[in-house]
């Protein structure tokens, strides 16, 4: 019997798990490559490799969704450098994440606390708890005052996409950051500087939306154009698919995940365009798929909706983990291993992209209507001939 050195997978099988004593001072990227061997650690390593080898190529448009209380935990520290390196092209977020990001930009403080704090005592001391993060209630009031004052300005007094509102807010936050020498503390500010459009899938479900609603009670005319949000994100994905590939990177689940993924069914099912779904699918979630919720829905389920290209399913990876555990490693990995990409500056292009999508849809509808009319005309003509032609019984009678 021939000896099989290292088993039957010596040359062509998966990489062997090696025992290498860990060393002090290792970079996070080296740690992931060498020691994240199995289970969700392996899925995280696979996400890192997919990001570095495929997703962050120049021809891929990367959309990132944010759900869960990420910005209170300091996620601007991760997302701002990634925006500046061209690794994030557009964002879909809960409004709450953007509101707390705004607070960081304004210089308000968040503190580490305990999930076991006495909430009654916190309430008496005008402190608010987000699990184990503590913020001062008065900082909310000051942030609301800042928002309310901005929304009251003339340039805000109109209907607009959430991307435009967030761009205007980012401009004003950027001014504060520059004045206080705190540039880089806010995702909104960085998105403004990098022309990264940011959307909110549920604009009324946050303190930003609540301030807009409050201003409307006293005559304010600022209004969210939710249809334009849908059309802008669809136009971005359509452009991505025409000239390259599209990647959906989802931190958590919820409404932002759905809003990012629904771009493909909107283009295919509703608008009738021939596309094949997002090319790359990455998600970090702690939600289970067996409860039927969207947050835990798998990439293969997304294929059935047309959200993911079925041919690209091998490039769809889910890591079941807390985002605050997994994503700092992923961010560190790509910032270490990947070269910066040119900024796509999609905010500047969004109006043009929507106009082009509108023209494509209008042409298709005209062609489709012409085809339908032609079919109806042929059916009507055939029916007329049939009616004019005498039956056999009548011909015999004649």
Q: Which residues pair with 60 in a beta bridge?
A: 245
If DSSP codes are grouped into helix, strand and coil, which group holds residue 264? helix
Contact 187, 331 (CB under 8 A): no
Q: DSSP strand E in 298-352: where? A: 316-320
Q: How far apart are CA 41 and CA 64, in angstroms?
A: 21
Burial class (CB in 10 A: 0-12, 13-18, 19+), 377: exposed
For residue 281, the SS3 value is: strand
**Candidate list 307, 379, 389, 393, residue with the active-site label:** 307
Annotation says 307 is catalytic: yes
Determine contact, residues 144/106, Cβ cutoff 8 Å.
no
Q: How far apart are CA 335 and CA 323, in angstroms?
A: 17
Q: What is the DSSP letter of 51?
A: I
DSSP assignment, residue 313? G
d(CA 243, CA 353): 13
CA distance 141 to 178: 23
Q: CA–CA separation, 206 vs 218, rounded Å? A: 19
With contact defined as beta carbons under 8 Å apart, do 234 and 272 qualify?
Answer: no
SS3 at position 335: helix
317 DSSP β-pair partners:
282
Task: Report the catalytic residues.
Answer: 307
């Amino acid at each position: 019997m021939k000896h099989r050195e290292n088993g039957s997978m010596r040359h062509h099988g998966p990489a062997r798990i090696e025992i290498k004593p860990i060393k002090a001072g290792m970079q996070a990227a080296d740690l992931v490559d060498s020691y994240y061997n199995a289970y969700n650690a392996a899925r995280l390593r696979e996400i890192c490799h997919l990001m570095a080898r495929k997703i962050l190529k120049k021809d891929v448009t990367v959309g990132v969704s944010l759900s869960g209380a990420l910005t209170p935990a300091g996620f601007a520290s991760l997302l701002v450098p990634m925006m500046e390196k061209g690794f994030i092209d557009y964002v879909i977020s809960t409004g709450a994440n953007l509101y707390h990001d705004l607070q960081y930009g304004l210089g308000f403080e968040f503190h580490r606390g305990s999930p076991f704090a006495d909430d009654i005592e916190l309430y008496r001391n005008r402190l608010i708890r987000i699990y184990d993060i503590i913020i001062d209630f008065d900082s909310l009031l000051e942030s609301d005052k800042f928002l309310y004052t901005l929304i009251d300005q003339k340039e805000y007094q109109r209907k607009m996409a959430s991307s435009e509102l967030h761009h205007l807010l980012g401009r004003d936050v950027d001014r504060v950051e520059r004045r206080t020498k705190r540039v880089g503390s806010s995702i909104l500010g960085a998105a403004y500087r990098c022309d990264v459009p940011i959307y909110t899938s549920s604009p009324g479900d946050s303190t930003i939306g609540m301030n807009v609603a409050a201003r409307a009670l006293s005559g304010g005319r600022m209004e969210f154009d939710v249809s334009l949000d849908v059309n802008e994100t669809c136009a971005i994905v359509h452009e991505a698919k025409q000239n390259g590939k599209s990647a959906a990177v989802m931190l958590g689940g919820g409404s932002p995940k759905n809003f990012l993924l629904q771009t493909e069914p909107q283009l295919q099912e509703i608008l009738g365009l021939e596309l094949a779904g997002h090319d790359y699918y990455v998600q970090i979630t702690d939600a289970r798929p067996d409860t039927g919720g969207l947050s835990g829905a798998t990439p293969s389920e997304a294929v059935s909706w047309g959200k993911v290209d079925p041919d690209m399913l091998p490039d769809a990876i889910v890591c079941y983990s807390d985002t605050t555990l997994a994503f700092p490693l992923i961010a560190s990995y790509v910032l270490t291993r990947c070269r910066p990409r040119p900024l796509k500056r999609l905010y500047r292009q969004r109006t043009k992209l929507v106009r082009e999508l509108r023209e494509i849809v209008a042409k298709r509808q005209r062609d489709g209507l012409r085809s339908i009319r032609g079919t109806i005309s042929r059916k009507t003509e055939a029916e007329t001939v049939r009616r004019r032609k005498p039956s056999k019984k009548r011909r015999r009678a004649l």
